[in-house]
Amino acid sequence: MIKVYYLETEVDMATNTEKVKGIDYIHHALNEVEGTLRKVIQDTTIEEDNILSSLARETRKPTIDELARFNSFISEIQALEPVRDLAAEIDALKARIEKLEKL
């Protein structure tokens, strides 16, 4: 389900970095600053939604404009993600292990 979450941020003064509450559950999300909150638009699982909703100040359905921007963003990052050949990676690792075992 695609939802909009307004999440608070925590600032670490020692490192001058910002951490968004619920960061462990945020992925492939359109992230914007709105006032003192982060507006996160994300397609979440039920588990992610439950956790992010419990941390958010507010949640709602995205507007048509937000949904269009989110879908455009997702299309862009999917085009950048490399297609992995896991079988070939496994075969390469097996070959490396065999070489090491012969040493």
**Chain position carrying tokens 């990052």:** 77
CB-based contacts of 38, cutoff 8 Å, min separation 6: 6, 7, 8, 9, 20, 31, 32
Report domain extents, the chain. 2-102
Query: What is the tens place of the pLDDT at every residue in 39-82?
Result: 999 999 999 999 999 999 999 999 999 999 999 999 888 777 67
User: Which two structure tokens, joined as six digits, stand for 33?
Assistant: 């600053």
pLDDT digit string, tens, across residues 3-18: 999 998 876 777 777 7
Q: pTM of the full predicted structure?
A: 0.69
Q: Which pLDDT score, from 0 to 100, does residue 81 have?
A: 66
